[in-house]
Chains A and B, each alone.
Chain A
Amino acid sequence: MPAPPTADEAIGNEMFQTAPQVEKLAPFSAEDPKIIRTFQRAKRIDLMARWGISAGGILVIFCVVGMMVFIAAVGMPLFITPSVAKLSQFDRSLQEKILAVGVDEYLETGFSLDQRGVWSFYYMKDGKVFNQVTTKPVAKKNLQLHSIETYDNKIYSLLWADGSTTVTEVKFLPKFNEGVRTITHQINRIADFPAEQNQQVLQSFARISGEDDSKRVTLVRQLGNNKIQVIQQLVEEDLMGNTEEKNYSNDFQYPLEDPITVMTVDRLGNAVYAGTQTGQLLQWNISEPGEASLVGQVQAFENAMAITALAVVFGESSVAVGDEKGNLTVWFPGKIQKTGEPGPLKKVHIYDSYKNPIARLLPSTRNKSFTSLDEGGNIRLNHMTSERKLLDLSSAQPYRIFGFSTRDNGLVTLDDHNQISLWELDIPHPEVSWRTLFGEVWYEGYQEPEHIWQSSASTDDFEPKFSLTTLVFGSLKGTFYAMVFSIPLALFGAIYTSEFCKDTYRRYLKPGIEIMAAMPSVIIGFLIALWLAPIVEQYVISFFLSTLLIPLVTVFFLFVWQAIRENPWCKRIEGGYEFLLIVPVIIFGCWLSVVLQAPIERMLFNGNFQLWLYQETGMRYDQRNSIIIGYGLGFLVIPLIFTICDDALTNVPKSLKAASLSLGASRWQTLWRVVLPSASPGIFAAIIIGFGRAIGETMVVLMATGNTPIMDWSVFNGMRTLAANIAVELPEAPVDGTLYRILFLSGALLFLITFFLNTFAEVIRQRLRKSYGQF
């Protein structure tokens, strides 16, 4: 029997004192080889486990980093600068003046057209001529070409010195023979327009539209005396296969005082644009055969500068204008707000100006870029929407003539010293710039610069609108409403279960709420989209009333309770059964809000809230709106925030709560002064994790937002989020196309947002932990 305990013993020094007297407990020795082996095995397993776990951990980190790198790598090519490389150069000195040059899309063979109407085809690598084709004038005379015009490097209108026009088509056809590709070419004579008596023709434009069974050939001639002549040939094939040809011709004149300096015709032959000596920009509609009406006339420049070059940008609604001072602008009709019809032409985009007058403008046939050539022989390629300068060629020998391959991948130039050069172009994503992704852009048909996301439409020539700002806004808006809804509920819930609820109930409540997290988000999505949204639409006033009435009813109930709580029966309830009473109180609050909806709607909103909203504020009520999203996303993140908050609150040491209570604090005071500050790092983390979860959530927003990419904080409208946008558009996006890469970029953006949020949260959490550190 040991002696009575000493002071040392009481404070835990027993081991030290009694150790020498310990008897041998087990009949074994540490020197036993079996035991040594066991220890060695334990050591080996420990070593293996250490390496195995480290390897696994590093692999996970590696995968995450790899994913990030991959996502960024797909998005990054959007920002590579366009490349241009000179492939070859050779001399083409001839007696005759060259009017046009071109190249096939494999950049192997090219041609030049000279003044006699001779097409010379040569190999681009050395300039060796291998074929020559002559186009004969309409009148079988020996004539020279006056000028040529082309819109697409394929259809050329050849204007002869006598005023007649020949429309020809240059076609390159690749042929494969035992794996060897040879490129053949054709010159097709499409139409002839003979000269008319006493008519001076300055320039002629030929456009072909429609398919074989209803083809239309339009020829627009710029005549002397400020006159314009429009000839339209319509070929229609009826069901029997008989073709019928109709010819229309009319002309119109612009006042002589202001000579027309330059003209152009759109791709389909529907509109004629002209620029004048005093800077008038004119637009005629010629889409109805035999008719022409002046639909637009604006004074382009205040100081009456002459317009020297015009081109209709792909999409037929914008026109690029070059003037004698070397300025380059793009104009399109602004929408008239009331009617939605196109208004007068407006100057929308302004590009870097040249030092010399602009000589020629040529639109791309594939996208909204256009090439310009000035009198100084410099060539530039600009994209209309992004205002990017994609190409800038200038040399000591001014360029005079240029032509593109039909795929826009090659450019042929002819300079003052008759040198022909071939350039290979690589311009993958001309429409993308930081400004089009994040800034406001003035798109065709809009009244002012805006943030818009609209990646595709039914037609090819549509102007894609890639404003990621709209989507970031949508993500933040959805998340904001979700947080407004979920943070109070989750936090109050966690406080209730961890601090006020009887342990007996907590054991069921907490897993119950956590099970909500296991609910597939697609189910939440369709529940709220198909079931909740119509209900909220019907009871929207009740919804707002309930946020006011439920707290009011609760407070009223508490006053009543205050009066009767001394009753022992009430005391019993206060020991953790409060929910038995508060649940009916809340249900009563909901019921009251539903009942009061009709009278309030009648009193305040003339009986129809949605109509009132539209008339008074101009806001439309969407069925799938932010309230719905708040519910849906909120429902999704509540279990998450709740669980982490509950853990954080429960992990506050019981000893701190006991200390506070023993000093006379109530449960509420203890919560407010001790528990919440100590749990604040965890609560903060919970909120940020919930935020990250909500911002990345796809399914619920996809199903319940309506996915309208609008920038509007209104609760009554939906939004389109980054995540939902990826889900909606990625299946449709051609691999490695602009949209595809932009979607990857938006994925990287989402990743970055959550990354920065989490980092920020972690920093704050560490700060909080330092000041409210736990034991």
Chain B
Amino acid sequence: MDAISLDPNVHVMESKDLDFYYGDSQALFGVSMKIPRNYVTALIGPSGCGKSTYLRCLNRMNDLIDRSRMVGSISFGGEEINDPALDVFRLRQKVGMVFQKYNPFPKSIYENVIYGLRIAGIKSKSILDETVERSLQRAALWDEVKDRLNGTALGLSGGQMQRLCIARAIANNPEVLLMDEPASALDPRSTARIEELITELRGKYTIVIVTHNMQQATRVSDFTGYFYEGVLKEHGTTEQIFTNPKEKHTEDYISGRFG
């Protein structure tokens, strides 16, 4: 993966020869990938190629799947993730996740944002208030909801709910944000807002985003990884992948010849 000409010191996560199995069927084959700190990395590839699976490996959300198995290594800040003794709860606080379908809790907006803090046992009202305001501002939602923080989160629009989920993930002060097609369930305007938001968050957090939308990948990401049938076919800067792909396969995909 020499295409990424960045200092290895700035790679916040790195997977080496990662295999993943759902029961007996293998979904990932020897994926080795470095995720650079404070940049946006996009994962693209045809449906069912293992993008989401890979993403979920990064915060061990795959643990929840019965009979699943991960082989290989993922390091996060020098620490091995694929280790039964690892404290997954702390890992997930540091590696937040935003899902394809927005999923706010049936609680107030305020309670949604500070959920992670409550989990961590933080009780100070001033810290909570400040976190709510800062996170919502970062998620570009503050102005829209500041008068109804105690209203139910289920009363928001789809786009607002997805931004609330981003705010909720940000509130945990994570180092990495994993986003699995965060805009695919939204209308064009909301999609645009989410993209704007990702651009704003760029530089503050490391973001890994799965998308099917090539334009979106070019608009928001710095690096792109192309998956095909569980294999990381190509990985490089977004500009290089989209303008000058090394692999014929990649070129075929981004030019829409299959998928």
Residue A656 at the chain B interface, CB threshold 8 Å: yes
In whole angstroms, what is the CA distance A678 to B105 when docked?
A: 9
Residue B154 at the chain A interface, CB threshold 8 Å: yes
Residues of A within 8 A of B245 (CB): none
Residues of A within 8 A of B214 (CB): 4-5
CB <8 Å contact, B115 and A5: no
How close is B195's CB to chain A, nearest CB, in angstroms? Answer: 9
In whole angstroms, what is the CA distance A504 to B67 when docked?
A: 9
How close is B46's CB to chain A, nearest CB, in angstroms? Answer: 12
CB <8 Å contact, A661 and B103: no
Interface centre among B59, B103, B256 (most CB of A within 10 A): B103
CB <8 Å contact, B215 and A663: no
Interface centre among A10, A12, A568, A674 (most CB of B within 10 A): A10
Residue A3 at the chain B interface, CB threshold 8 Å: yes
How close is B135's CB to chain A, nearest CB, in angstroms? Answer: 12
Please tell me which one of the listed residues B84, B92, B103, B188 contacts residue A656 in the complex, with CB atoms under 8 A apart. Answer: B103
In whole angstroms, what is the CA distance A665 to B104 when docked?
A: 15
In whole angstroms, what is the CA distance A13 to B184 when docked?
A: 11
CB <8 Å contact, A659 and B165: yes
For chain A, the count of residues having a C-beta within 8 Å of the partner chain is 41
Residue B150 at the chain A interface, CB threshold 8 Å: no
* Residues in A650-666 with C-beta less than 8 Å from chain B: 653, 655-656, 658-666
CB <8 Å contact, B89 and A666: yes
* Residues in B137-178 with C-beta less than 8 Å from chain A: 152, 154, 165, 168-169, 172
Residue A2 at the chain B interface, CB threshold 8 Å: yes
Residue A1 at the chain B interface, CB threshold 8 Å: yes
A4-B256, A504-B66, A664-B116 known; A568+B84 contact, CB < 8 A: yes
CB <8 Å contact, B97 and A662: yes
In whole angstroms, what is the CA distance A662 to B216 when docked?
A: 25
A571-B85, A664-B89 known; A6+B215 contact, CB < 8 A: yes
Residues of A within 8 A of B186 (CB): 11
Residue A502 at the chain B interface, CB threshold 8 Å: yes
Residue B50 at the chain A interface, CB threshold 8 Å: no
Residue A669 at the chain B interface, CB threshold 8 Å: yes
Residue B123 at the chain A interface, CB threshold 8 Å: no
In whole angstroms, what is the CA distance A674 to B106 when docked?
A: 8
CB <8 Å contact, B105 and A11: no
Residue B204 at the chain A interface, CB threshold 8 Å: no
CB <8 Å contact, B84 and A571: yes
A656-B103, A658-B103 known; A663+B116 contact, CB < 8 A: yes
CB <8 Å contact, B106 and A678: yes
Residues of B within 8 A of A257 (CB): none
In whole angstroms, what is the CA distance A101 to B99 when docked?
A: 97
Residues of A within 8 A of B213 (CB): 5, 7, 9-10
Residue B236 at the chain A interface, CB threshold 8 Å: no
Residue B74 at the chain A interface, CB threshold 8 Å: no
A4-B256, A5-B213, A773-B154 known; A664+B105 contact, CB < 8 A: no
Residue A211 at the chain B interface, CB threshold 8 Å: no
CB <8 Å contact, B184 and A502: no
How close is A500's CB to chain B, nearest CB, in angstroms? Answer: 12
CB <8 Å contact, A663 and B216: no
CB <8 Å contact, B255 and A4: yes
CB <8 Å contact, A659 and B256: no
CB <8 Å contact, A663 and B169: yes
CB <8 Å contact, A664 and B119: yes
In whole angstroms, what is the CA distance A9 to B187 when docked?
A: 11
Residue B257 at the chain A interface, CB threshold 8 Å: yes
Fill in one digit per residue for B199-240: 1 if any A CB lies within 8 Å of its CB, else 0: 000000000000111111000000000000000000000000
Please tell me which one of the listed residues A661, A677, A773 contacts residue B61 in the complex, with CB atoms under 8 A apart. Answer: A661
CB <8 Å contact, A664 and B172: yes
In whole angstroms, what is the CA distance A404 to B184 when docked?
A: 92
Fill in one digit per residue for A491-509: 1 if any B CB lies within 8 Å of its CB, else 0: 0000000000011100000
CB <8 Å contact, B105 and A674: yes
Residue A772 at the chain B interface, CB threshold 8 Å: yes
Residues of B within 8 A of A576 (CB): 66
How close is B121's CB to chain A, nearest CB, in angstroms? Answer: 10
A655-B101, A773-B106 known; A1+B119 contact, CB < 8 A: no
Residues of B within 8 A of A658 (CB): 61, 64, 97, 99, 103
How close is B74's CB to chain A, nearest CB, in angstroms? Answer: 16
CB <8 Å contact, B84 and A663: no
In whole angstroms, what is the CA distance A6 to B84 when docked?
A: 43
* Residues in B101-141 with C-beta less than 8 Å from chain A: 101, 103-106, 115-116, 118-120
In whole angstroms, what is the CA distance A4 to B242 when docked?
A: 12
Residue B183 at the chain A interface, CB threshold 8 Å: yes
How close is A568's CB to chain B, nearest CB, in angstroms? Answer: 6
In whole angstroms, what is the CA distance A315 to B165 when docked?
A: 80
Residue B82 at the chain A interface, CB threshold 8 Å: no
Residue B41 at the chain A interface, CB threshold 8 Å: no
Fill in one digit per residue for A1-42: 1 if any B CB lies within 8 Å of its CB, else 0: 111111111111100000000000000000000000000000
Residues of A within 8 A of B169 (CB): 662-663
Residue B93 at the chain A interface, CB threshold 8 Å: yes
CB <8 Å contact, B212 and A772: no
In whole angstroms, what is the CA distance A406 to B95 when docked?
A: 95
Chain A residue with the shortest CB-CB distance to B254? A4
Residue B191 at the chain A interface, CB threshold 8 Å: yes
Residue B96 at the chain A interface, CB threshold 8 Å: yes
CB <8 Å contact, A655 and B103: yes
Residue A774 at the chain B interface, CB threshold 8 Å: yes
How close is A254's CB to chain B, nearest CB, in angstroms? Answer: 86
Residues of B within 8 A of A10 (CB): 183-184, 191, 211-213, 215-216
CB <8 Å contact, B84 and A661: no
In whole angstroms, what is the CA distance A503 to B66 when docked?
A: 7
In whole angstroms, what is the CA distance A665 to B88 when docked?
A: 9
Residue A566 at the chain B interface, CB threshold 8 Å: yes
Chain A residue with the shortest CB-CB distance to B195? A7
Residue A86 at the chain B interface, CB threshold 8 Å: no
Which 6 A-B pairs give the minimum distances between C-beta atoms? A664-B93, A10-B213, A655-B103, A662-B97, A4-B256, A571-B84
14 A-B Cβ contacts within 8 A? A3-B256, A9-B213, A10-B184, A10-B215, A576-B66, A659-B99, A659-B104, A659-B165, A659-B168, A660-B105, A660-B115, A662-B92, A673-B115, A674-B105
Having A7-B215, A653-B103, one finds 16 other A-B pairs with CB under 8 Å, namely A5-B214, A5-B215, A9-B213, A10-B183, A10-B212, A11-B183, A11-B186, A658-B97, A658-B103, A662-B59, A663-B168, A665-B115, A666-B89, A669-B119, A673-B119, A678-B106
Residues of B within 8 A of A (CB): 59, 61, 64, 66-67, 84-85, 89-90, 92-93, 96-97, 99, 101, 103-106, 115-116, 118-120, 152, 154, 165, 168-169, 172, 183-188, 191, 211-216, 254-257
Residues of A within 8 A of B (CB): 1-13, 502-504, 566, 568, 571, 576, 653, 655-656, 658-666, 669, 673-674, 677-678, 771-774
